[in-house]
């Protein structure tokens, strides 16, 4: 297990290093002059030159990249050109709101989708199966931002039951979490249905059923456990995606999370903030992949030997 884990950690670190290089090069082609962003468009050339020198922009690219890696190693993502605050502080300030929204919607959507998928997988071809199939396919075809606006119109504007936008109380969480939770539910219901249904049709499950294994044990211990690898893969990536910010949902509901922070950085050409949010999202994905790889080895020991 130690060798398996070490290989995965080395792979994740090398991927992160490659991500920093790509991000560093992309930032250099953004049509925004850091000196102008900091000092303003009316600053004199001497002031602009002094700012570029202070930022190290007059040094060779290799030296700049080494300096960038040194800052990252210390947890320094730079400072925002617009606010002057540390990017790490801005991300840390927005992270709790995104975590609350993402984990709430994922918990509701995943658990409901898991239960529905297992229920319909055991009843393939039934009326329940066809009804859930139609509902989930229609739900998956609806854009998330459209569903969010529809919920706002019905429950906030027409019925006046829930707050319109914001982050003040638990009631403000209901609509955005429902918007994301519905999308998660539709997807996981179909995903679990497909993989658990395939597992239920396998020879080892038919053998266990012939031996008189109880239905609950058959579904949970045999079918679900052998379908866990693709489910765990998707769940890990989903957590990373939600934690790094759901742009459209946070924009629709004026939710002060990482998604809105990234949008604000793009519109203001705040390069350090853009780079910081992208790198933070990439790190979350890599950590999630690493956790998924470790769970692979727990769920299926053959993965370690491979």
Instruction: Kindly tell me if the per-residue pLDDT of 32 is higher than 90.
Output: no
Q: What is the mean pLDDT of residues 178-203?
A: 87
At residue 91, does pLDDT exceed 90?
A: yes
pLDDT at 300: 62
How far are the Cα atoms of 1, 11, 121, 229 from residue 5, in angstroms, in the given order? 6, 10, 34, 17
Instruction: Kindly provide the b/e burial profile for residues 220-238, where b requires at least 16 CB atoms within 10 angstroms of the residue's own CB.
Output: eebbbebbbbebbbbbbeb
Q: What is the pTM of this model?
A: 0.80
Q: What is the mean pLDDT of the chain?
A: 83
3-state helix, strand and coil shares in percent for the chain, rounded to the nearest 5: 75, 0, 25
Residue 79, token pair as written in the block: 């400072």
Hey, what are 178's tokens?
A: 């429902």
- Spatial separation of the C-alpha atoms in residues 45 and 62, rounded to whole Å: 25
Which residue spans within 91-245 are E strands per DSSP?
A: none
pLDDT of residue 155: 92
Full set of structural domains in the chain with CATH = 2-73 (no CATH), 91-305 (1.10.3720.10)
Asked if residue 178 has pLDDT above 90, the reply is yes
DSSP calls for 138-168: HHHTS-HHHHHHHHIIIIIIIS--S-SS-SS
Pick 127 or 299 by higher pLDDT. Answer: 127
pLDDT above 70 for 130: yes
Residue 305 has pLDDT above 80, yes or no: no
Q: Could you tell me which residue, 163 or 8, shows the higher pLDDT?
A: 163
**Angstrom distance (rounded) from CA 220 to CA 209:** 13
Quote the pLDDT of residue 185.
Answer: 94
């Amino acid at each position: 297990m130690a060798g398996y884990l070490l290989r995965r950690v080395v792979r994740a670190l090398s991927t992160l290093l490659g991500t920093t290089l790509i991000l560093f090069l992309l930032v250099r082609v953004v049509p925004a002059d850091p000196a102008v962003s900091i000092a303003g468009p009316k600053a004199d050339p001497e002031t602009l030159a002094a700012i570029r020198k202070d930022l190290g922009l007059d040094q060779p690219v290799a030296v700049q990249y080494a300096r960038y890696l040194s800052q990252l190693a210390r947890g320094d993502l730079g400072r925002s050109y617009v606010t002057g605050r540390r990017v790490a502080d801005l991300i840390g300030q927005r992270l709790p709101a995104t975590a609350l929204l993402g984990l709430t919607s994922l918990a509701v959507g995943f658990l409901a989708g898991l239960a529905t998928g297992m229920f319909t997988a055991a009843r393939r071809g039934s009326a329940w199966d066809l009804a859930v199939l139609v509902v989930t396919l229609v739900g998956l075809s609806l854009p998330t931002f459209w569903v969010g606006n529809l919920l706002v119109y019905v429950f906030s504007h027409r019925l006046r039951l829930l707050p319109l936008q914001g982050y003040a109380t638990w009631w403000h969480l209901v609509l955005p979490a429902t918007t994301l939770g519905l999308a998660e539910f539709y997807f996981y219901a179909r995903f679990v249905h497909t993989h658990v249904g395939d597992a239920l049709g396998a020879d080892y499950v038919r053998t266990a059923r012939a031996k008189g294994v109880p239905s609950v044990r058959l579904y949970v211990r045999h079918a679900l456990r052998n379908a866990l690898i693709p489910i765990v893969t998707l769940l890990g990536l989903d957590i990373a995606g939600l934690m790094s910010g759901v742009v459209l949902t946070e924009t629709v509901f004026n939710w002060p999370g990482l998604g809105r922070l990234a949008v604000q950085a793009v519109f203001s050409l705040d390069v350090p903030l853009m780079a910081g949010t992208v790198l933070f999202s990439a790190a979350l994905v890599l950590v999630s992949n690493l956790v998924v790889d470790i769970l692979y080895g727990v769920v299926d020991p053959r993965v370690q030997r491979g």
